Structure 1
């Protein structure tokens, strides 16, 4: 049987060992964890970063896609807003800077009117090449007036290389869309043989199409065709009917056409062609022609006034 002394000694030894273990454990708990740099240096290159790099690349791609989608949406909104504004705009009244906004958004009317400003040097430096470029954009969208103006550019060689074939093709496109000025010009070209083989029958057809739309120059030209019997049977009565329509036009832009038609009515009345011969009526028409700036009308009025 152990003595009390041995029991006490053994107990102290056990207690001492237990205390040491506890101190060691506490010491272990109190040790600071390694920093990321220490941990990273301890890996000796054995850590595989490929998955993380792939994830980062995928995230960057997703962000780029999102930014592109936002940009596309903003562009689409800009186009819609431009189209909405364009529908309510009178482009002929807009300045170059405003027209450019609509033109860049693809609006054909804005492209045409901006091209006209460049052609006229109105508010911008005159630039026929820029004008032709804008007319072409609008013409390719089917805008008849732009096609007709582009035709004139090719005919004159302004802003583009002179090309009669291109001039004819663009004029024909506009005319086939029912654009009366193009139809009248095409009729004039067939009548004179300008850029095409002279063909009075073709001229008559195109003049008729435009005259049926109430276009004063074509009413005058068609009246001339009936008066002279070119492309159609001579008919003074029909000629007088067409001259009268052109002579009574209220369009300020066609004052010279009006004056010529009035003069021609004077000629019909002085000669009694399909109308009652009357120097008084002839004098009235010559006077109106003179008032609208036609010198021959003034001369004929003066002659009749002296008799």
Structure 2
């Protein structure tokens, strides 16, 4: 165990010395990878921050059923009872709005009072408002229920307020796919950067590697410093990317809060949780180590 730790400590020290020997080149590679990694982090921050707002806005869409003006008295109550009986699992609450109550509500509004005063009667129909339960594919279920209820007797029109919910869900799905594609592109950038860095190091250490092999060094001994180089480059670049993304969020939030206040809302962007960021750092380090292993295997065959 002590021998194993000594070998890894030696490989780590060799890696740090090689990085310190070329500070400008090492820093340039880290900055390139960090800037590339900061892009999906900012995208993840926007997506993570938008999802709670989307859930809050789309949690309880309502379906309003308007009856015909010639519907008999009690038809609205019968439809409400039928909804509760046939769709109890999909409906959170059902309420009936009688036409007289709707007209009285409008007359209390000064905007409509004069216009309604000239009408000979009540032109409004009875209405039934159904609030749907939470769950997956909420907008799709709302569409299906609206089509079903629209075919019932005495129903004139069904108004569904989830069209904007569908658009919002589609935007979020598009953002997730786009973020995954961006993350894949960034992974390719990290692979290419680490691969090229290790290749250059292998070329610079060509004679040293050849001498080490002549005196009996194993392939693991030769490769180990390069693996540490790839892992450290990936992990440090990920940490720098997190710092850059956190700095970028400050002016973005200042501008966003001014826009949100103009709409009477409160909204801010924030990075994913610490556990997600830790996984990102470890994953980038592992990706860098894999790229380093691939590069050192291809470029030390001499």
- With the length of structure 2 as denominator, give the TM-score of the two structures: 0.21
Q: Look at both structures and tell me which one has the larger radius of gyration over its CA atoms.
A: 1
Bigger fraction of residues in strand = 2
Q: Which structure has more RCO (C-alpha within 8 Å, separation ≥ 6)?
A: 2
